[in-house]
C-alpha cells in the first residue's frame, strides 16, 4: 500500500517539475497572447474556454431566438444600445467585420439592450447605414445580465461549441487587422 502511494506521489512530482502536468489552460491563453495587440490589447481571454449560458432575444421580425440557435459558428456577441456613445462609435466597425469575414463559420450578433424595442434599433441601423449586421434586441436586458454584462458596449467571443473564449468591455475597432486576426485564429481552431 505504501509503495503504491509513493509511486503516485512520485508521478505527481514528476509532472509538476517537468511541466508535463501543465494543462491546456496555460497553452490556450498563451496561444491567444500573440493576438492581444493594438485594438485587442483590452481583450481578456479566459484560461480555458468556459460554458456560457443560453439566453433569448428578439429578431427584426419580432420572433424570439436563442443564442444556442447559432451553435456551430464562432460568434462575437456584442451588447450595445442606441443611447450609448461608445457603442455608436464602434457599430460601423462591427458592421464592416461582419461584411469582411461573416460566413457559415462566423457571425457578429449585435444585441441591442434598448428598452424602446426593435423600432429604435432599426431606425439607428438605417441612420448609420448598417447593412451587414442583423438587427437584434432584448428590451428586457435579461440577455446582458445572463452574460454577466454590466456596462456597454461589451463583446464576448464564443467558439463554435458555444463556449466563452474571452471578452472585451468597452469599445474597439472590430474591423482592425488585429481584431480580425484574433477571430480568424479562433475560427481555425474550432
pLDDT at 6: 38
14 within a domain of the structure (yes/no): no
**Best CA proximity match to 178, nearest among 97, 110, 107, 120:** 97
For residue 133, being part of any structural domain is answered with yes
What interhelical angle do 177-189 and 24-33 show, nearest 10?
Answer: 150
CA distance 167 to 87: 15
What is the predicted pLDDT for the residue at 27? 60
pLDDT computed for residue 190 by the predictor:
58
How many angstroms separate the CA atoms of 59 and 118, rounded? 8
Provide the pLDDT for residue 105.
98
pTM over 0.75: yes
The tally of domains found in the chain comes to 1
Q: Is residue 88, in this structure, part of any structural domain at all?
A: yes
Does 12 reside within a domain?
no
What pLDDT is recorded for position 152?
98
* Average pLDDT per consecutive 10 residues, the chain (190 residues; last block may be shorter): 42 36 52 91 96 98 97 98 97 98 98 97 97 98 97 98 98 97 92
Q: Are 115 and 148 in contact (CB under 8 A)?
A: no
Residue 114 and residue 116: Cα distance in Å, rounded?
A: 5
Domain ranges, residue 133: 23-189
CA atoms of 6 and 15, how far apart (whole Å) = 14
Q: CATH no. for residue 158?
A: 3.40.30.10
Q: Strand 106-112's sheet: what is its strand order?
A: 44-50, 164-169, 154-158, 74-80, 106-112, 136-137, 56-59, 64-66
Please give the span between the terminal C-alpha atoms of the chain, in angstroms, as a whole number: 44
Instruction: Give the pLDDT of residue 30.
Output: 72
Amino acid at each position: 500500500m505504501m509503495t503504491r502511494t509513493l509511486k503516485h506521489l512520485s508521478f505527481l512530482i514528476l509532472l509538476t517539475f517537468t511541466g508535463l502536468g501543465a494543462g491546456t489552460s496555460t497553452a490556450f491563453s498563451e496561444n491567444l497572447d500573440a493576438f492581444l495587440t493594438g485594438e485587442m490589447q483590452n481583450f481578456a481571454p479566459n484560461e480555458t474556454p468556459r460554458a456560457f449560458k443560453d439566453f433569448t432575444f428578439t429578431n427584426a421580425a419580432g420572433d424570439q431566438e436563442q443564442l444556442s440557435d447559432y451553435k456551430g459558428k464562432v460568434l462575437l456577441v456584442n451588447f450595445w444600445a442606441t443611447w450609448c456613445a461608445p457603442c455608436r462609435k464602434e457599430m460601423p466597425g462591427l458592421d464592416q467585420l461582419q461584411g469582411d469575414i461573416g460566413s457559415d463559420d462566423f457571425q457578429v450578433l449585435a444585441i441591442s439592450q434598448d428598452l424602446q424595442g426593435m423600432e429604435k434599433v432599426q431606425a439607428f441601423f438605417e441612420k448609420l447605414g448598417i447593412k451587414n449586421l442583423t438587427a437584434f434586441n432584448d428590451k428586457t436586458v435579461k440577455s446582458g445580465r445572463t452574460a454577466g454584462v454590466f456596462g456597454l458596449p461589451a463583446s464576448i467571443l464564443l467558439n463554435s461549441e458555444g463556449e466563452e473564449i474571452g471578452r472585451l468591455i468597452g469599445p474597439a475597432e472590430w474591423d482592425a487587422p488585429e481584431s480580425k486576426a484574433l477571430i480568424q485564429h479562433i475560427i481555425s481552431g474550432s
